Structure 1
Amino acid sequence: MLEKRRYGAGLPTYPFLAACLTAAVCLFLWRLSSCPVPQATRLVAPSYLLLLPGNASSLPPPYPMHKLGPGDRTTLIDVKDFAFQLNNFPCNGSSSLLLLVLVHSAPGNVEKRRTIRETWGRGPHRVLFLLGAVESPAMQAALEEENRVHRDLVQGRFLDSYRNMTYKHVMALKWTAYYCPGARYLLKTDDDVFVNSPALLDFLAQDLSPWGARRLILCEPFSFAYVKRSYRSKWRVSPLEYPGRMYPAYCAGWAVLYSPDVVFLLYREAQRTKYFWIDDVHVTGTLAARANLTQTSLGSLVLSREQVQFLVGPRDNGSEIGSFLFGSPNLSLSDIHRLWQLVQERRPAS
């Protein structure tokens, strides 16, 4: 289960054996309330705050929109004529929506969107698919028809391409701030990820807080990552694009859970920071650091690819499904359907 506290750093420089004995004895005595806790074992406060009835109404609103510039609505980073070409409004001013899910999707991924609608996208949460602009009139017409049927597409005025993913991520933050400020949590994810949505809703309401949180970025973090300079790498970044040798701590972008105040802080930073095309690094790393935010690890709440393959294998392994929240990325449609079937089979009848 998610750890909500961290241990401090800075071990004393005693000889190793003496330090171990001292720490063990003192910790034992501390448990009996007769010895102070050494700095190396003292618990520190978590980097996020859970809202409870006692503090939920005392905090300022998470979206102080007056702090944004007058042209903010029609600006997306350096796109000065931004608009939503397709838009929907499922929140309808609700102040009680527990979870909003915004899914990065490519225009041609029709079957992936259909699979999500048929599986984990169903429920009391709201799911929208984020797209960029397309150059084909036929493709645009197909997207407009899909949206007419399902009312769940959000399309921004920037070309949908791999190096434009940061626009899509920041568009998710922008859309949430303008059109769904009442959501207690925002999940940004991809269309090849499995979300155990019933377990996630339970987790938010019971392990976190149904009133929401502040300063929360919950994800799979990378603490040390070198900038790739090789021309053979898909993620090659030139020194001109990013002069540093290492990226700041950032999240794997396929599943990131934000509290609403973090949505606003990251969005405001994005609107005044130079564009960088690797959205995971830029939004959850560089912008988070500028806003003095830190990441909290999902830990064992994510299934590895090996665990997914074990569960969807030919034998009945559903009894091992546990209380995970996310399957690993790059899943096949059949894997997503099978995981959803297992979740439904193992979930107690309401």
Structure 2
Amino acid sequence: MEYFFRRKRVLKTLLSLSLLFATLVMIHKYKLVDERAKGSMLPVRTQEALGWFQLENDVYQSNTILKGGLSNNNSPPRLADSSEAANLTAVSNATAWDIKLVNCTENSGLKKKDWFKRMDPRFHQFVLYRHCKYFPMLINHPEKCGGDVHLLMVVKSVIEQHDRREAVRKTWGKEQEIDGKKIRTLFLLGSPSAGKDSKNLQKLVEYEDRIYRDILQWDFMDTFFNLTLKEVNFLKWFNIYCPRVQFIFKGDDDVFVNTNNVLELLGFRKEDPKVGGLFVGDTISKAVPIRNSQSKYFIPKELYDKPYPPYVGGGGFLMASGLARKLFAVSDDTELFPIDDVFLGMCLQKAGHAPELHPGFKTFGIMKRKVSPMNNDPCFYRGLLVIHKLSPEELLNMWKIVFNEHLICSKRIILH
């Protein structure tokens, strides 16, 4: 019996030493990977003192869908930029991302304005810092636009939504070449929001990117108000790195996209002389700001007090690369707005373009009633282009059904 226990202790010791050795090997391996990865990431971290990067009140988690409400005709004064704004938002002809550090101070002069004092306090930090537009990149992949890319799939996501990104990669975001048309995919991320396990979350997204190499990340907090920062930073990035991309699909990570139908639509439009100004999606016209403070899309009248310009639902839309470059130039001189798709509508209006409505884009879902059988009918998904909103499991399941060769549908929506 004593021999048995001595033998057991020796085995436990050997096992512990083996585990220790394996751990040391893995640590060394990850260090080597990190060193190789540093070439594609900027080491500088933005100051976290900018409070509006962390602003996302629980009230913004409501389930409001439509961005419309009551309005009156008294427009608020245009907000003045601070002296730093010109330095931070100047249009650049750089050949690489040229923002290494942001030292952005608040526009404190606004605090004395009567309209600012009357405004809902939740928007104070946003207004004080909204002249800060461009931020350092933490993860960059300029090679994504190498060669002739027909369609660049650009997906808004946040770090914690790795399951959504994985589902997109396996379905409509799969990088491939169809009939000679090259498709590439990128995910747009900010930094982990305050109060979360920031260091571990950042390590996880860096590891994910080492596997897939399809993430663009900037050093601003990933909050609802900062979705507009993803728009302007991506437009700047695209203007620098993507001279030979023809079209962009831009959408959320919880939509279903029928890639074949998207390519078919672009094929129909290629002979259209206006294809260079293509901007098509689920267009919303004559909307006005929501005044219900419990809504996710609440906008106080002191911030904006007139009807919105026509815009498309941010769940998914298509645009031509030439128009994307125009939007970059216009967005550089346009004040940030808390709702990203409305902001793009403002930029479109300034650029002299109007978004085109297409019935194949269902960014608010097929039917508002969740019990509607159409919401789960694969034949509707087969005939449309974009449908919002699906969980990762629903997306994977619907993808398998829609592209099952044995699925027979009696009717199909005409795309052109």
How does the TM-score come out when normalised to structure 1? 0.71
| Residue 238 (1) aligns with residue 300 (2) | yes
Which stretch has the larger CA shift, 78-87 or 124-133? 78-87
Contact kept in structure 1, 2:257 and 2:385, CA below 8 Å: yes
| Residue 146 (1) aligns with residue 208 (2) | yes
Structure 2 vs 1, CA of residues 305 and 332 (structure 1 numbering), >3 Å: closer, same or farther?
farther
Alignment identity in percent? 27
Structure 2 vs 1, CA of residues 215 and 302 (structure 1 numbering), >3 Å: closer, same or farther?
same
What is the alpha-carbon distance in structure 1 between the residues aligned to residue 160 and residue 240 of structure 2? 27
Structure 2 vs 1, CA of residues 312 and 289 (structure 1 numbering), >3 Å: closer, same or farther?
closer
| Residue 344 (1) aligns with residue 403 (2) | yes
Please state whether the residue corresponding to 1:252 is helix, strand or coil.
strand
| Residue 260 (1) aligns with residue 318 (2) | no
Q: How does 1:42-57 map to 2 (within 5 A)?
A: none
2:187 is aligned to 129
Structure 2 vs 1, CA of residues 109 and 321 (structure 1 numbering), >3 Å: closer, same or farther?
closer
Contact kept in structure 2, 1:105 and 1:190, CA below 8 Å: yes
Please state whether the residue corresponding to 1:74 is helix, strand or coil.
coil
- Structure 1 residue 181, shift from structure 2 partner: 2.1
What is the alpha-carbon distance in structure 2 between the residues aligned to residue 108 and residue 326 of structure 1? 23
Q: Which runs of 4+ in 1 moved over 2 A?
A: 67-81, 89-93, 210-213, 300-313, 317-323
Structure 2 vs 1, CA of residues 132 and 321 (structure 1 numbering), >3 Å: closer, same or farther?
closer
> Which string of whole-angstrom CA distances, capped at 9 and with x for unpartnered residues, describes residues 221-246 of structure 1?
111111112222221111222132x1
What is the alpha-carbon distance in structure 2 between the residues aligned to residue 290 and residue 320 of structure 1? 36
Please state whether the residue corresponding to 2:318 is helix, strand or coil.
strand
> Which string of whole-angstrom CA distances, capped at 9 and with x for unpartnered residues, describes residues 256-293 of structure 1?
1111121111111111121111111011x111111101
2:156 is aligned to 104
Contact kept in structure 2, 1:199 and 1:325, CA below 8 Å: yes
| Residue 289 (1) aligns with residue 349 (2) | yes
Match 2:227 to one of 140, 151, 165: 165
What is the alpha-carbon distance in structure 2 between the residues aligned to residue 188 and residue 255 of structure 1? 5
> Which string of whole-angstrom CA distances, capped at 9 and with x for unpartnered residues, describes residues 311-349 of structure 1?
775xxx65565432112x22122221122112321399x
2:391 is aligned to 332
Q: Which has the larger radius of gyration?
A: 2
How does the TM-score come out when normalised to structure 2? 0.60
Q: How does 1:187-226 map to 2 (within 5 A)?
A: 187-205=249-267, 207-209=268-270, 213-226=275-288
Give the letter for the 2:394 counterpart. Answer: D
Taking only aligned residues, the RMSD between alpha carbons, in angstroms, comes to 2.9
Contact kept in structure 2, 1:74 and 1:80, CA below 8 Å: no
Match 2:132 to one of 71, 79, 82: 79
What is the alpha-carbon distance in structure 2 between the residues aligned to residue 347 and residue 269 of structure 1? 48
- Structure 1 residue 81, shift from structure 2 partner: 6.3
What is the alpha-carbon distance in structure 1 between the residues aligned to residue 314 and residue 201 of structure 2? 27
Please state whether the residue corresponding to 2:190 is helix, strand or coil.
strand
Contact kept in structure 2, 1:100 and 1:187, CA below 8 Å: yes
Match 1:271 to one of 332, 352, 357: 332
Please state whether the residue corresponding to 2:262 is helix, strand or coil.
helix
> Which string of whole-angstrom CA distances, capped at 9 and with x for unpartnered residues, describes residues 127-148 of structure 1?
1100012251111111100000
Contact kept in structure 2, 1:115 and 1:337, CA below 8 Å: yes
Structure 2 vs 1, CA of residues 342 and 287 (structure 1 numbering), >3 Å: closer, same or farther?
same
Please state whether the residue corresponding to 1:172 is helix, strand or coil.
helix
